[in-house]
Amino acid sequence: MLPIEVKNLYKNYFPAKSGKFAGIGNPVQHSGETATVETGLSFSVSKGEIFGIIGPDGAGKTTLFRILTTLILADRGTATVDGFDVVKEYKEIRKRVGYMPGKFSLYQDLTVQENLNFFATVFNTTIAENYYLIKDIYQQIEPFKNRRAAKLSGGMKQKLALCCALIHKPSVLFLDEPTTGVDAVSRKEFWDMLKQLKNQGITILVSTPYMDEANLCDRIALIQNGQFLTIDTPAKIVGQFGKTLWTVQSDNMSRLLLDLRAVKQIESCFTFGDSHHVTILNDQFTKTDLHKILHEIGHTNVEINEINPTIEDCFMELSKHS
């Protein structure tokens, strides 16, 4: 029995006959294959795994989380959490999972300590009983334990919400965009906390729009428009990129972008921080060839390097075909 097992999950917020779709698991016809129509999302998560659902707003991340936490019903497909069915045995699931929704959902007019105590009581336990689990996180907000939740900063709210989701010692933790709008330093700290929880044997399903967080997960599913683009370890996804990728820089980056797109051997070109990433159509085209082209149209200090793709490169490549 796996902590999370999902099979052919499908949910459309529009009526079936409307012909419109918003939700998860809409059928996708793969190009090149005849009549293979996949319906619904399927995946499973192993015990103690950090599994990331990575994709932009509106991709279906929250819908998936709400179905698994038994808050809404899917139209089709099955899902189990800790071996319990999300429809028939929802009461069992609610006892066992911790859920941190994307929107801050604690009681604004209760203090830090009151919120934590409330959630412990609801789950028939006490703060003392499972304190070891939250100790490292709670100590960071303890100096403000008598402050109302409404008056906390974003980072502190996030830590309190995590404590409240953990206080009944859940076996599976659902974190819906815990790091959205959080600065780069606090995001790093938050992921360190997740690693600690993983070491305690807690299974974690976490969603994020930040592609750079993919490498902190054991496995990830990239999601867009309600469909998974791929499911695998970050390393394997990067390994399957299958194209030559170069970074290109010159003194005039904004003109370079347009000029690179005009080169017919270049398939795609995107800005990536201080360089542009380009994929090449055929392997006969070399860096020397590109140097020559760019030099001829007046670019100076051109630098071209072959690199390994990032998850964001993979996401953009895969989303082209969906």
Partner 1 sequence: MPERVIDSMEKVIVADKLTKKFGDFIAVDHISFEVERGEIFGFLGANGAGKTTAMRMLCGLSIPTSGKGLVAGYDIHTQSEKVKRNIGYMSQKFALYDDLTVAENIRLYAGIYGVKEKEIAPKTKELLLRLGFDNERDTLVKSLPMGWKQKLAFSVAIFHEPKIVFLDEPTGGVDPVTRRQFWEMIYEASDRGITIFVTTHYMDEAEYCNRVCVMVDGRIDALDSPRNLKIQYNAQNMDEVFQQLARNAKRTDAI
Is residue 188 at the binding interface for partner 1, with CB under 8 A as the rule? yes
The answer to whether residues 45 and 2 touch, using CB atoms and an 8 Å cutoff, is yes
CB nearer to partner 1: pick between 68 and 141: 141
Per rule CB under 8 A, is residue 241 in the interface with partner 1?
no
Distances in whole angstroms, Cα of residue 102 to Cα of each of 65, 76, 97, 138, 218: 10, 25, 16, 20, 21
Q: How many CA atoms lie within 13 Å of 222's alpha carbon, on the beta-carbon side?
A: 26
Q: Is 185 in the site for partner 1 (CB under 8 A)?
A: yes
E strand or H helix at 287:
helix 287-296
238 near partner 1, judged by CB under 8 A: no
Rounded Cα gap, residues 86 and 147, in angstroms: 36
Nearest-approach distance from CB 70 to partner 1, in angstroms? 25
C-beta pairs of 36-39 under 8 Å, 24+ apart in sequence: 39/8, 39/10, 39/76
Interatomic CA distance for residues 177 and 194, integer angstroms: 13
Minimum CB separation from partner 1 for residue 55, in Å? 7
186 binds partner 1 (CB under 8 A): yes
Phi, psi of 217 (to 5 degrees): -95, 155
Using the contact rule CB under 8 A, the part of the chain among 36-44, 180-188, 196-204, 213-221 near partner 1 is 180-188
Output the smallest distance, CB 103 to partner 1, in A: 12
Q: Which amino acid is at 132?
A: Y
Out of 78, 125, 131, 155, the only residue in the binding site for partner 1 (CB under 8 A) is 155
19-58 binders of partner 1 (CB under 8 A)? 55-58
Intra-chain end-to-end CA distance of the chain, in Å: 32
Of residues 113, 125, 171, 224, which one binds partner 1 by CB under 8 A? 224
Work out whether 117 is an interface residue with partner 1 (CB under 8 A): no
Of the candidates 129, 136, 183, 303, which one interacts with partner 1 according to CB under 8 A?
183
Is 46 or 108 the residue whose CB approaches partner 1 more closely?
Answer: 108
Does position 239 bind partner 1 by CB under 8 A? no
Residue partners of 4: CB distance under 8 A and separation at least 6? 43, 44, 45, 51, 68, 79, 80, 81, 172, 203, 205
| Binding positions for partner 1, rule: CB under 8 A | 55-59, 140-141, 143, 153-156, 159, 177, 180-188, 209-211, 224, 254, 257, 270-274, 312, 315-316, 319
